[in-house]
Structure 1
Amino acid sequence: MPSTAPAPTLSPDWPCQVKSPGTRDWERTATRWLRDLLPARYAGYSPLTRHHVLLARHAQLQLQHEIRAVRVALQTSRAELPTLGVAESVIENTIRMYALELEQLGRLARGVRLVMEALMDDGASQRRMYAQRR
């Protein structure tokens, strides 16, 4: 009877598109997910495509800036949108949209942090294994 190790419990914030750390191809799924969070033009930058931790760091920074932008948009909607001729009903819908987007960006940011930590842990494990072989 084959023994099966229990699957590690992942945080609810772990992105469903990324396989569990330590499983086959998990880094590939993490890299694909992180790349999808960035504007397409970043796909051609070799430091980001070759170094997973740099990619994760850049995704973190990108999300931090998006969160700031959405917060400013949310905080200024009631004061600025009427002066642009936007109807009250549209303003209310816009405020709800920004609030939902902030929640989504928060979840993504937590997911990026978890993936980055796992990538760093995996890289440290690989370095230790390499050092032991020497």
Structure 2
Amino acid sequence: MERPYVPPGWPALVRPPGVEGWEETASAWLLDQAPPEFRGYPVLRRHVVVLARFVALHVEAGQAAVRRGLSEARGVLRDVADPDTVEAAVRVWQAEQARLVAQRRAVALLEEALRGRRYVARL
């Protein structure tokens, strides 16, 4: 019997694919990553792979917003905040960028698994 395996970046709160109840844990995690309004759409609650696609696009939109925030932070904020505050804001954008990269990877892994991909440990 093959032991369940998940790759690096798999969300800790989601059971491995193939384990009983794994799709329910995936759905719960994905809903936690989504805007609260997503919970109100029955199609997203009934079809977890569709939910995964919606969440992936939502995270990608967040990544685009962070890229824009980083690119314009110093120029836009310099007239309304002191230099230390501007640099602190840039560090927040950078932290958010790193968080979203990890979140996007986790969502992608779940979406692939929901579409049938199974991960195998490699030595």
Letter of the 2:102 partner, please give it: R
Greater relative contact order (Cα 8 A, min sep 6): structure 1 or 2? 2
Q: What SS class does the counterpart of residue 115 from structure 2 fall into?
A: helix
Larger Rg: 1
- Per-residue deviation, 1:9: 3.2
C-alpha distance in structure 2 between counterparts of 1:96 and 1:47, whole Å: 38
* Offset at residue 22 of structure 1 (A): 0.8
> Which of 66, 69, 75 in structure 2 is aligned with 1:73?
69
Give the 3-state SS of the residue equivalent to 1:75 in structure 2: helix
Alignment partner, residue 116 of structure 1: 111
Structure 2 unaligned runs (5+)? Answer: 118-123
1:33 paired residue among 16, 29, 38: 29
The 5 Å alignment of 1:16-55 reads 16-55=12-51
**What TM-score results when the alignment is normalised by the length of structure 1?**
0.83
| Contact 2:5–2:16, Cα closer than 8 Å, also in 1 | no
> Partner letter of residue 96 of structure 1?
R
TM-score, L = length of structure 2: 0.90
Q: 2:89 aligns with which of 82, 94, 98?
A: 94
2:30 alignment partner, SS class? helix
Question: Which amino acid is 2:103 matched to?
Answer: L
- Shift in Å at residue 87 of structure 1? 1.2
**Equivalent residue pairs, number:** 117
Q: Does structure 1 conserve the Cα–Cα contact (< 8 Å) formed by 2:4 and 2:18?
A: no
Question: Which secondary structure state, in structure 1, belongs to the residue aligned with residue 13 of structure 2?
Answer: coil
Unaligned runs of 5+ in 1: 123-134
User: Going by fraction, where is helix more abundant, 1 or 2?
Assistant: 1
CA root-mean-square deviation: 1.2
